Structure 1
């Protein structure tokens, strides 16, 4: 494809993903009250826990100005639309990258997207479930019996919650990115094993920098799952290399796979000429 064709396809992918996110935001707007209650739950739990552990400490959620409710609504709708449509925009991102590979290798697109979506959502859920403890630890530094009232604006709290959820969600995709590089032959399991201590140290360093809160609990809650996922990635990479090694030792199997890949690639090219071009032309007309 020429540079112009790549730009056309990029525009099509971005437009498709953008429309999906907008539709997700519209659906989220219908259930805004329920979503608001869900996002406020970590704060409610933190307030209840603080009432037990720090009875003299007061924490009051507030809105500071007239525009705060509207800004909060837009943030809630935006993050909900982004999370709910994650499978769509993750697939569009991968579909834009994959055409450089042979047709037989493109099957990994669905596999990686199928893994990326639950990993991203698992990271988001981890950050969400972590918030009551994080809020309790941070607010708990307020001196007792000093008559201090902690006023927490909902806008700042939701921004903080959204950042934590997105950081955890994106972080959980890092091991999948390393596995993708292994399947493409860029890095090997030997590299992962050699740099394993640095990977573990990097996971904790990344968690310390990436988490918006400064408490050690949040850092450990991100670093430990990330380290475990890295170790699982190393084992899957080792299995993949053994599979490729067995295949490469069999000349007949290697030739058959190569022929199948070339035949599938030719079939994909013919299909792409019949389907992709009309889709791009339709996008141009719109």
Structure 2
């Protein structure tokens, strides 16, 4: 009897050791995926640091120039509608640096932000490579376009934030004054922080359909629930649009809200498709 207990204990110990080894093996695999992602981000950061004159003058400072693409398109829109007030000929923005190592730190931090942005698709690909072996064949086929869709939505969000939200916000905030006695002098850190936040935050928000897909696959979210709560979603979207765009005009708020409404409706379709596939698998079983 005691011998059987001993054998059973040895087997249980062996199974626990095997589970621990499997867990540490997964951690080791994840570590290398993250290391490769970090290397890619470092390479992109180094490239951004090397070409920083072009990046700073053309990309970072672009929304602060009247010649920016968005302002030119607004001017053409005003001409097409035969209305004044659309053209922006001057942006009153004065940038200063208040720290000894401020400009050097600025170059490093902004290069790192650009490196993370450019390396984000590769990071998604590495995450997909880590998750893929744990999925069944049908799950792999269903999620095969994860990296492509997530990258596309992120880039679309970044472009929307950079060309629509950022210039409108900068144009409004740069010229906004409470009193003529107060002069607007913005630190370069504050300016870059605003540009980066508005741009990258929009890229993350545009990942909403991917989040809906994951939650629907886990059974946490359903298309029926999203349809029933659509009226509340509209209020939340309007609040988000008001926070993201500090400009008081309804036109800018509407322009920001429309893509969010579209993303919500796309999320409903995605959730419905996931439910349909799950139901088909259950019927097949």
TM-score by length of 1: 0.73
C-alpha offsets along residues 85-105 of structure 1, whole Å, 9 cap, x if unaligned?
111111223444444421331
The alpha-carbon distance between structure 1 residues 241 and 32, as it changes in their structure 2 partners (threshold 3 A), is: same
The alpha-carbon distance between structure 1 residues 170 and 127, as it changes in their structure 2 partners (threshold 3 A), is: same
The alpha-carbon distance between structure 1 residues 198 and 240, as it changes in their structure 2 partners (threshold 3 A), is: same
Is the aligned partner of 1:66 residue 2:86? no
The alpha-carbon distance between structure 1 residues 176 and 200, as it changes in their structure 2 partners (threshold 3 A), is: farther
* 1:95–1:109 CA contact under 8 A, matched in 2: no
- Structure 1 unaligned spans of 5+: 256-286
* 1:22–1:81 CA contact under 8 A, matched in 2: yes
Bigger shift: residues 73-82 or 190-199:
190-199
User: What does 1:1-286 align with in structure 2 at a 5 Å threshold?
Assistant: 2-37=22-57, 38-45=59-66, 58-129=92-163, 130-142=165-177, 146=180, 148-208=182-242, 211=244, 214-216=246-248, 220-242=254-276, 245=279, 254=284
Bigger shift: residues 115-124 or 127-136:
127-136
The alpha-carbon distance between structure 1 residues 53 and 106, as it changes in their structure 2 partners (threshold 3 A), is: closer
Bigger shift: residues 154-163 or 104-113:
104-113
C-alpha offsets along residues 19-60 of structure 1, whole Å, 9 cap, x if unaligned?
11111111212211111121101012399999x7798x9532
The alpha-carbon distance between structure 1 residues 63 and 108, as it changes in their structure 2 partners (threshold 3 A), is: farther
The alpha-carbon distance between structure 1 residues 53 and 123, as it changes in their structure 2 partners (threshold 3 A), is: closer
The alpha-carbon distance between structure 1 residues 53 and 181, as it changes in their structure 2 partners (threshold 3 A), is: closer
* 1:98–1:106 CA contact under 8 A, matched in 2: yes
Whole-Å separation in 2 of the counterparts to 1:97 and 1:131? 35
Q: Cα offset for 1:182?
A: 2.3
RMSD: 3.2
* 1:71–1:155 CA contact under 8 A, matched in 2: no
Give the equivalent residue in structure 1 for 2:82: none
Q: Cα offset for 1:70?
A: 0.8
The alpha-carbon distance between structure 1 residues 92 and 189, as it changes in their structure 2 partners (threshold 3 A), is: same
TM-score by length of 2: 0.73
Rg: which structure is higher?
2
Bigger shift: residues 107-116 or 29-38:
107-116
**1:187 is paired with a residue of what secondary structure?**
coil
* 2:93–2:184 CA contact under 8 A, matched in 1: yes
Whole-Å separation in 2 of the counterparts to 1:19 and 1:58? 40
Q: Cα offset for 1:201?
A: 2.5
**1:59 is paired with a residue of what secondary structure?**
coil
Whole-Å separation in 2 of the counterparts to 1:204 and 1:7? 42
Whole-Å separation in 2 of the counterparts to 1:204 and 1:139? 24
